[in-house]
């Protein structure tokens, strides 16, 4: 008998949902950044253990919609929550429980699926602070099980995985036992490029950047050629990404290439270009092309 189902991860931006998904599946399926609101799509990570399979849905951080992009992100959150077998509310232990967490918790109370809470980043807290944030989490009155964890170090994650696996309904696996994600390769590689941009333009560049992989070629065994395009919304932002003398785009390319090589396990030639597309976050057609539904 096998069990298989979906777990939706809900939480404010920058609570560590992507890091937690990567830790549970044992591979990189979601990009990670200290910058809030990095996740734009509902990314599925797959964890399979003998007779149990958990499909984790890393949802965009819940926030008030500001444009077509964030409106789509909010809609995807609602849709994924409705279709999940369980929900996991992820809290940032360092920041404590705030109004945003209470808002999300209220949304989850109305959901039919069972809910658990993971209090993340407890490795950065002393004992008294940990006790205080766990008490605050209990006062949300959503779900009965609370797990103090560190997605970064793995502390508490095995117990959380065991609990979630028991919530999965009886049924066949939805993905192969070897799969860790349902993302198309081009989307995953584009996300690795975007991660490199965000990490190196943390202070200067807002969330006006997107990446698209336009072509993946295999000219010979052991070598992959990737051609990718970085979108920004203004010439000044393009200047930041390119950098003086092209130094920034070179650093971005080197970092992204290393991550792509780690993912593909072969040598990679990465060709990056930067293009200005004003107000792309409000362009419904482009958002369709980017797969942000």
Task: Give residue-wise pLDDT tens across range 112-143.
Answer: 789 999 999 999 999 999 999 999 999 998 97
Is residue 130 domain-shared with residue 243, that is, in the same domain?
Answer: no
Is residue 23 domain-shared with residue 153, that is, in the same domain?
Answer: yes
Q: Is 189 inside a domain boundary?
A: yes
Per-residue pLDDT at 38: 46
Q: What percent of the chain has pLDDT over 70?
A: 81
Residue with the bigger pLDDT between 158 and 57: it is 158
pLDDT in tens, 30-40: 665 554 444 44
pLDDT in tens, 167-192: 999 999 999 988 888 878 888 899 89
Inform me whether the pLDDT recorded for 252 exceeds 90: yes
Alpha helix positions (H), the chain: 17-25, 68-82, 99-109, 127-138, 157-167, 185-200, 235-242, 247-264, 284-290
Per-residue pLDDT at 36: 45
Per-residue pLDDT at 18: 85
Cα separation, 181 vs 189, whole angstroms: 13
User: Would you place residue 86 in the very low, low, confident or very high pLDDT band (cuts 50, 70, 90)?
Assistant: very high
Q: What is the mean pLDDT of residues 81-102?
A: 90
Residue with the bigger pLDDT between 66 and 16: it is 16
Q: What is the mean pLDDT of residues 56-66?
A: 63
Is residue 158 domain-shared with residue 245, that is, in the same domain?
Answer: no
Q: Is 247 inside a domain boundary?
A: yes
Which 3 state secondary structure label does DSSP give 30? coil
DSSP state of 34: S
CA atoms within 13 A on the CB side of 215: 10
pLDDT in tens, 148-173: 999 999 999 999 999 999 999 999 99
Cα separation, 134 vs 50, whole angstroms: 32
Per-residue pLDDT at 41: 52
Is residue 143 domain-shared with residue 264, that is, in the same domain?
Answer: no
What value, to the nearest 5°, has the Cα angle with vertex 240 and ends 236 and 243? 125
Is residue 115 domain-shared with residue 70, that is, in the same domain?
Answer: yes
Do the Cβ atoms of 175 and 48 come closer than 8 Å?
yes
Residue 193 φ then ψ, to 5° = -65, -45
User: Would you place residue 27 in the very low, low, confident or very high pLDDT band (cuts 50, 70, 90)?
Assistant: confident
Q: 149 burial class (0-12, 13-18, 19+ CB within 10 angstroms)? A: buried
Number of H helices, E strands in the chain: 9, 9
Residue 238 has which token pair?
Answer: 């393009």
Per-residue pLDDT at 159: 97
For the domain that residue 197 is a member of, what is the CATH number? 3.30.300.20
Q: What is the pTM of this model?
A: 0.73
Per-residue pLDDT at 75: 57
What domain range includes position 195?
185-290
End-to-end CA distance of the chain: 35
Is residue 99 domain-shared with residue 225, that is, in the same domain?
Answer: no
Is residue 46 domain-shared with residue 157, that is, in the same domain?
Answer: yes
């Amino acid at each position: 008998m096998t069990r298989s189902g979906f777990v939706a991860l809900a939480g404010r931006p920058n609570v560590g949902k992507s890091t937690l998904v990567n830790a549970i599946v044992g591979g990189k399926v979601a990009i990670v950044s200290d910058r809030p609101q990095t996740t734009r799509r509902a990314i599925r990570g797959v964890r399979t253990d003998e007779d149990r399979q958990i499909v984790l849905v890393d949802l965009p951080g819940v926030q008030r919609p500001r444009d077509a992009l964030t409106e789509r992100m909010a809609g995807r959150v609602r849709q994924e929550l409705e279709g999940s077998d369980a929900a996991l509310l992820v809290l940032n232990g360092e920041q404590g429980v705030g109004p945003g967490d209470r808002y999300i918790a209220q949304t989850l109370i109305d959901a039919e699926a069972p809910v658990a809470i993971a209090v993340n980043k407890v490795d950065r807290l002393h004992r008294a602070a940990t006790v205080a944030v766990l008490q605050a989490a209990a006062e949300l009155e959503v779900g009965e099980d609370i797990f103090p964890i560190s997605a970064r170090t793995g502390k508490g994650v095995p117990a959380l995985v065991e609990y979630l696996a028991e919530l999965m309904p009886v049924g066949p696996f939805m993905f192969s036992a070897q799969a860790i994600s349902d993302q198309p390769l081009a989307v995953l590689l584009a996300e690795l490029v975007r991660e490199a941009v965000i990490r190196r333009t943390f202070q200067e560049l807002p969330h006006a950047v997107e990446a698209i992989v336009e072509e993946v070629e295999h000219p010979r065994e052991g070598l992959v050629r990737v051609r990718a395009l970085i979108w920004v919304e203004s010439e000044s932002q393009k200047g930041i990404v390119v950098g003086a003398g092209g130094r920034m785009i070179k650093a971005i390319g080197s970092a992204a290439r290393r991550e792509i090589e780690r993912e593909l396990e072969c040598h990679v030639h990465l060709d990056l270009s930067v293009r200005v597309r004003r107000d792309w976050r409000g362009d419904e057609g482009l958002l369709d092309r980017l797969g942000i539904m």
